[in-house]
Structure 1
Amino acid sequence: MKKVIAAINMTLDGICDHTAGIPDEALHKHYEELLDQAGVILYGRTTYQLMQYWQTLLINPSDEKSMDDFAVAIDRIPKIVFSNTLKNTDWNTATLASNEIEKEVSALKQQADKDILVGSRSLIIQLLNLNLIDEFQICIHPMIEGKGLPLFDKIKNQTIFKLLKTKTFTSGAIILYYEPIKQ
């Protein structure tokens, strides 16, 4: 059984916004490698629609190789989208979830041969409340956003974590790898 990994960016003030942060070549490379090692990534509708931006770089590559390589990686990985409003995904590697999140993730964990990534704040909160996250990879950007959605909002129970390792970037961003301690 493989792990469910919540991989997400946040600012020093705890804001989780895919448009906030300081993405650089090293960070794009890190996430490209993470995607290449995983079997599937789960998104909610809002984050999924933001991630569709990367499809444009497949058609019109940028001047930054790391961004273009990330676009290829995000295009390649299968995506499952949880939405009550979308009727289709308009991305050949994306499908709409056929079950509610607890059933879908439990089934994926049983059959997965690679790790399952979760890249949406809303899904991370739901899965944390269901005790279905096996690892957090939280990239903290050295900035204060000052507004937006906090990453950890509407959490039902206190959760204690064990720090597994850290990874730092020259930009000042740091990824903290945590494992929830089952109580």
Structure 2
Amino acid sequence: MRKIVLMASVSLDGFMEGPDREIDWHVVDDELHQHFNDLLRGMGAFLEGRVTYQLMEDFWPTADSDPSTTETEAEFAGIWRETPKIVFSRTLEHAGRNATIRREVDAEEIRALKAQPGGDLCLGGADLGATFMRLDLVDEYRIYVHPVLIGRGKPLFPDSAVRTGLRLAETREFGSGVVLLRHERRAVAPAE
């Protein structure tokens, strides 16, 4: 069965974006970008909220036609175009090539999607991630901690009354100082 993998970059103090939605503090060098390419190339689909989708769609479909684009970035442009995308939005009327719009997150529909053959499903976006966490649909967390404190903004993890048991499956430090923390679900959350 495919897994739903929440991938997110956060500041050391736990924010996905600054108070004005800025992400200019992300430290994405060629090493980290190649890591993303290698990982995302095998995904069966990208599951995204409207904001994340539009941010990506505004740049990546034609990024490899810009002469200043690096080889690694050009490689990702192809991955972005070819990977199916499911965009969850109540307002978006049209999506680009290889994208399908869903108005709501239906837990049963997501479980059926997981049961289909193919690569894992990459989940992106703060609000959509929160919805999937609330519905207990996330199987793996790939959190990329950037070496910066931004002080305020949008946190990755919303307040929750639910405890979720996790197992550390991998850590990796990149030359830029970004650290990957990969956690998988445990069957039972530890007692308090």
Aligned partner of 1:111 in structure 2 is 116
Please report how far the alpha carbon of residue 99 of structure 1 lies from its aligned counterpart in structure 2 after TM superposition: 5.4
Look up the SS of the partner of 1:124 in the other structure. Answer: helix
Aligned partner of 1:177 in structure 2 is 182
Please report how far the alpha carbon of residue 182 of structure 1 lies from its aligned counterpart in structure 2 after TM superposition: 2.6
Aligned partner of 1:13 in structure 2 is 13
AA paired with 2:72?
A: S
The answer on 1:134 being equivalent to 2:134 is no
Residue range with higher mean Cα deviation, 126-135 or 163-172: 126-135
The answer on 1:162 being equivalent to 2:152 is no
AA paired with 2:167?
A: K
- The alignment covers a number of residue pairs equal to 182
CA deviations 1:124-160 (Å, max 9, x no partner) are 2111121111111101111112221000013331223
- Distance verdict in 2 for CA 1:62–1:155, change over 3 Å: farther
Q: TM-score, normalised by structure 2?
A: 0.88
CA deviations 1:46-88 (Å, max 9, x no partner) are 1111111212413324342222212221222111000000011
Aligned partner of 1:33 in structure 2 is 38
Instruction: Identify unmatched segments of 5+ residues in structure 1.
Output: none
- Is the 1:16–1:149 Cα contact (8 Å) retained in structure 2? yes
- Is the 1:35–1:73 Cα contact (8 Å) retained in structure 2? yes
CA deviations 1:82-111 (Å, max 9, x no partner) are 00000111x202111265342331121111
Equivalent-residue separation in structure 2 for 1:40 and 1:55 (angstroms): 16
Instruction: Identify unmatched segments of 5+ residues in structure 2.
Output: none
Aligned partner of 1:122 in structure 2 is 127
- Distance verdict in 2 for CA 1:101–1:24, change over 3 Å: farther
Superposition RMSD on alpha carbons, in Å? 1.7
Please report how far the alpha carbon of residue 170 of structure 1 lies from its aligned counterpart in structure 2 after TM superposition: 0.2
